[in-house]
């Protein structure tokens, strides 16, 4: 059988429906978060090389600001060192907005690991997860994606089955939020929020979109302190009239939840002051690999 020379995978964005902060340990914030991937994706295309070099090119959204030493580059180098493979030419077609709390950097790193594993027939998921966890708190989760509850620093991933699909309108302020700055602001504010994850999981599983009223993110006030545009986006998301709303990750993107694609698109069409994207939650294997995003399109 001939060796595969080129592999393409989708690197999906994620949305945090809850994000609780339960304390700190060894300098890290301890999280409890209900999260799911959505059908807004970067595409990672890897082509086999005959030397050990891992060369990455980014095109599309925010490509001009793509760092030379990105998480994707670190993932590629770590993969080669761990599995002693040849290199690859890697193209990342970017669609996930940066600095929005949608996990774009982590998605790219996880996508690179998945694509290289397919290219070089590596099936050691335990080793891949270890490499991913060393790259960032969301990267190990995004190796698989779907509905999950993530705890600890984000390295403990509990997949969740039998969750109904949700449709979201994402509202994106012009400027992003630095994750490090947001956590620092959270520590300065010292205003702990009550945990939401257990209740939100129960209500969303039982009631679908109607359970989204239980969504909550302990970092929301800190993100607003870092970037005043986040507060405006959150208010705009509330005004869309969905079943619930929230902020994902450390911001800056806010969202409103709807029970149908039609309702989400109608609401997005009423958004005047923010870039709006309509997305749907997706589970692993739900869509053929390499198909890209379907709902993640700009509405204006």
Q: Which residues are catalytic?
A: 14, 138
**How far, in Å, CA of 82 to CA of 126, rounded?**
12
In this structure, are residues 2 and 281 in contact, taking their beta carbons and an 8 Å threshold?
no
In this structure, are residues 250 and 183 in contact, taking their beta carbons and an 8 Å threshold?
yes
In this structure, are residues 95 and 40 in contact, taking their beta carbons and an 8 Å threshold?
yes
Q: What is the 3-state secondary structure (H, E, C) of 85-131?
A: CCCEEEEEEECCCCCCCCCHHHHHHHHHHHHHHHHCCCCCHHHHHHH
Across the chain, the runs of DSSP E, i.e. the strands, are 6-16, 18-25, 28-48, 54-60, 88-94, 148-152, 156-159, 167-172, 216-217, 244-247, 254-258, 275-282
């Amino acid at each position: 059988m001939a060796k595969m020379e080129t592999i393409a995978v989708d690197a999906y964005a994620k949305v945090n429906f809850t994000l609780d902060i339960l304390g700190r340990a060894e300098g890290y914030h301890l999280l409890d978060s209900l999260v799911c991937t959505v059908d807004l994706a970067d595409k990672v295309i890897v082509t086999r090389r005959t030397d050990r070099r891992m060369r990455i090119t980014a095109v599309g959204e925010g490509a001009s600001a793509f760092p030379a030493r990105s998480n994707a580059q670190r993932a590629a180098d770590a993969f080669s060192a761990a599995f002693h493979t040849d290199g690859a030419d890697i193209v990342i077609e970017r669609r996930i907005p940066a600095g929005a709390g949608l996990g774009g950097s982590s998605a790219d790193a996880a996508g690179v690991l998945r694509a290289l594993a397919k290219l070089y027939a590596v099936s050691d998921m335990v080793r891949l997860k270890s490499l991913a966890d060393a790259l960032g708190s969301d990267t190990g989760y995004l190796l698989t994606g779907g509905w999950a509850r993530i705890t600890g620093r984000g390295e403990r991933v509990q997949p969740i089955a039998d969750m109904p699909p949700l449709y979201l309108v994402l509202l994106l302020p012009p400027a992003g939020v630095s994750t490090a700055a947001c956590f620092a602001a959270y520590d300065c504010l010292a205003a702990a929020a009550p945990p939401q994850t257990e209740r939100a999981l129960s209500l969303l599983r039982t009631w679908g979109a109607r359970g989204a009223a239980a969504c909550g993110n302990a970092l929301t006030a800190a993100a607003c302190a870092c970037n005043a545009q986040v507060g405006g986006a959150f208010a705009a998301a509330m005004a869309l009239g969905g079943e619930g709303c929230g902020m994902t990750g450390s911001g800056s993107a806010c969202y409103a939840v709807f029970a149908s694609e039609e309702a989400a698109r109608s609401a997005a069409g009423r958004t005047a002051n923010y870039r709006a994207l309509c997305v749907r939650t997706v589970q692993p294997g739900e869509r053929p690999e390499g198909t890209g995003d379907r709902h993640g399109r700009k509405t204006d």
